[in-house]
């Protein structure tokens, strides 16, 4: 196991070099010091942000709130969400707001109910950030019968996005940010076993879910353009290696301690998400892959139109929903 995780980390670093990241995988200050406008006014923005109760999601919510945005926080754990809101509101921005909604990404009914309430409560949404994600170390199925990584990291964000599209379409300039991972470089889509049951592997299941979300970004971009929804832009965001609870699921504590000096903290890890959500420089970019606030090259599989379309069609079957706004193939 230890040999495997060391090799896994090595693959991630090699992938970074092959991708040609001009600013480097571990350049933590690049976003904050050179790219992010800390004085930007977001007081006219309505933002939906999943996974905002901890980690990079919490730091993303803090930044958006401090700049005046109305931030909608869908969360499974309402008590934890309330604590996060209390923490963020210490910034005391009178023009901003934080609103909690119940959302369990491991349950399609919860996803549908949450999206319906948001669309009913808000005429338009300006930014959707699909930040929430999990890593589990054993095979588990959701109430809908899907492996936990597959549903929480991919199927439910897919469904949530389609359900919110009508509200996003009403924004003059909407953005959808999907969080992927370095692990998408080693991801493989196994259409014969999307539940990754035979045999189950945490790394394989997680990397498949993150490759899936990157392919979703590509196909969603194509369908938005074909349906003339050119006011909605989509971004594939990789926070790089961040010291979070998720990382601890991959690496033993001894190895995490060894590589900690090159890991980003949560604030640094949130940088690229914040950049893609707020920067005027990327307002009209769409369908691209970002790390350290720069566009770079994702895995070859993540750029395959045929694979993206095949996965889209399969996903529509699994979630039993097709957006009326995306009628063209």
Q: What's the per-residue H, E or C state across 175-204?
A: EEEEECCHHHHHCCCCCCCCCCCCCCCHHH
> Can you list the positions of beta strands (E) in the chain?
46-49, 70-75, 97-102, 127-130, 174-179, 232-238, 288-291, 294-296
The answer to whether 151 and 106 are in contact (CB under 8 A) is yes
Exactly one of 65, 185, 206, 290 is catalytic; which is it? 206
Q: Return contacts of 6-10, CB within 8 angstroms, 24+ apart.
A: 6/255, 8/186, 8/203, 8/250, 9/251, 9/255, 9/259
**Whether 185 is catalytic:** no
- How far apart (Å, rounded) are the C-alpha atoms in residues 105 and 294? 29
Q: Which residues are catalytic?
A: 206
């Amino acid at each position: 196991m230890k040999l495997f995780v060391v090799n896994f980390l090595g693959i991630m670093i090699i992938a970074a070099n092959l991708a040609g990241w001009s600013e480097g995988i571990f350049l933590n200050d690049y976003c904050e010091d050179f790219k992010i406008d800390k004085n930007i006014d977001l007081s006219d923005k309505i933002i939906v942000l999943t996974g905002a109760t901890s980690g990079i999601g919490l730091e993303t919510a803090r930044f958006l709130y401090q700049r005046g945005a109305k931030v909608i926080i869908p969360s499974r754990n309402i008590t934890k969400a309330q604590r996060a809101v209390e923490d963020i509101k210490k910034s005391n921005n009178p023009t901003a707001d934080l609103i909690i909604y119940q959302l369990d990404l491991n349950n399609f009914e919860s996803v549908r109910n949450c999206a319906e309430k948001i669309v009913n409560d808000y005429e338009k949404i300006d930014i959707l950030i699909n930040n929430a994600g999990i890593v589990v170390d054993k095979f588990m199925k959701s109430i809908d019968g899907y492996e936990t990584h597959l549903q929480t990291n991919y199927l439910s964000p897919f469904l949530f996005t389609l359900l919110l599209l009508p509200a996003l379409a009403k924004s003059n300039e909407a953005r959808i940010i999907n969080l992927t991972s370095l692990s998408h470089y080693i991801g493989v889509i196994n259409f014969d076993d999307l539940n990754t049951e035979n045999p189950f592997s945490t790394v394989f299941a997680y990397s498949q879910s993150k490759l899936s979300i990157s392919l979703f970004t590509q196909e969603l971009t194509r369908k938005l353009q074909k349906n003339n929804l050119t006011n909605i832009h989509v971004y594939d965001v990789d926070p790089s290696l961040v010291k979070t609870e998720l990382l601890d699921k991959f690496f033993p504590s001894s190895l995490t301690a060894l590589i900690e000096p090159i890991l980003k903290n949560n604030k640094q890890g949130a940088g690229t998400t914040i950049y893609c959500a707020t920067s005027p420089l990327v307002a009209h970019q769409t369908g691209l892959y970002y790390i350290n606030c720069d566009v770079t090259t994702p895995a070859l599989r993540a750029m395959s139109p045929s694979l993206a379309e095949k996965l889209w069609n399969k996903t529509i079957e699994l979630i039993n929903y097709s957006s009326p706004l995306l009628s063209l193939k």
